[in-house]
Amino acid sequence: MIFTRRVFMGGLVTGLLSGCAGTWTTDYSDAISPAVSRGWRVTQFDIRVPDSLTVSEANVYQPEADIVWRGDPPGDRRAQVAAIFDTAARRGTSNLRGPRPVRLTINVTQFHALSDIARKRLSRSGVHNISFVAQVSDARTGQVLAGPEPIKADLVAYTGQQALQADLQGQTQKVRITDHLTRVLAGWTGAGPDDVRAEFQRIGR
C-alpha cells in the first residue's frame, strides 16, 4: 500500500506540473543606452509592492498567489520582497555616477518563488517567476527619462539535491534571486556590461 501511494503521489505531482511546462524569460523591450545613463546618479529608490498583490503561505506545490516567498523567516512578505528589490536596485545601478540625480521606481507585479514542499521534493523542475515595471525619472523635476518598462526576470529554481548543495555553498534562493535581479537592473539601466535577456525551457509555475 505504501508503494502504491508513493507512485500515485508522484503521478499527481507530475500531472500538476506538466501543464505548466513552457518557455520562461528574462526580457524587456530595450536597454537604456549607456551613453545616456552614464550621466545619471540614482539618488532615490522607490520600491512598491502593492497591497493588492496576494500572498500565500500554503505549503503546496503550486500556491495560487502573486507572492510566494520562503527565503526569509515568516513575516511581512511584501516588505521582504521590497528589501530584495532595494538591495538589487542599489547594487545594479552602483556604477551610475553621473551629475544628474534620478529616481528609480520599481512596481512589483509578481514574485512567485517556491514553496518549501516544491523546493524539497521536485527534481529538474521549478521556476522563480518574477515580473515588475521599472521607471527612471529626474529626481528634481519628476520628468520621466525611461519607462515605464515591463520587465520579466524569470530564473531557474534549484530543487531537491541541487537546492541542498546550493544552500551549502551559500547560493540560497535569496542570494540567487537578488544576484539575478541585480544583473537584470544593471542590464536594463545600461549600468552593467552584460545583456542578460534570455529564455529557457522548464517545468515550473
Domains of the chain: 22-203 (3.40.50)
d(CA 57, CA 133) in angstroms, rounded, equals 25
Residue 3 has pLDDT above 90, yes or no: no
Q: How far is C-alpha 49 from the geometric centre of its chain's CA atoms?
A: 13
Percent of the chain surpassing pLDDT 90? 76
Task: State the pTM of this model.
Answer: 0.87
Spell 155-167 as b/e; 16+ CB within 10 A means b.
Answer: bbbbbeebbeebe
User: Which pLDDT score is estimated for 21?
Assistant: 64
In tens, the pLDDT along 66-124 reads 999 999 999 999 999 999 999 999 999 999 999 999 999 999 999 999 999 999 998 77
What pLDDT, on the 0 to 100 scale, is given for residue 97? 97
Would you say 199 and 152 are in contact if contact means Cβ atoms under 8 Å apart?
no
pLDDT tens digits for range 29-52: 989 999 999 999 999 999 999 999
Q: How much is the mean pLDDT over the chain?
A: 89
Question: What is the pLDDT averaged over residues 188-192?
Answer: 95
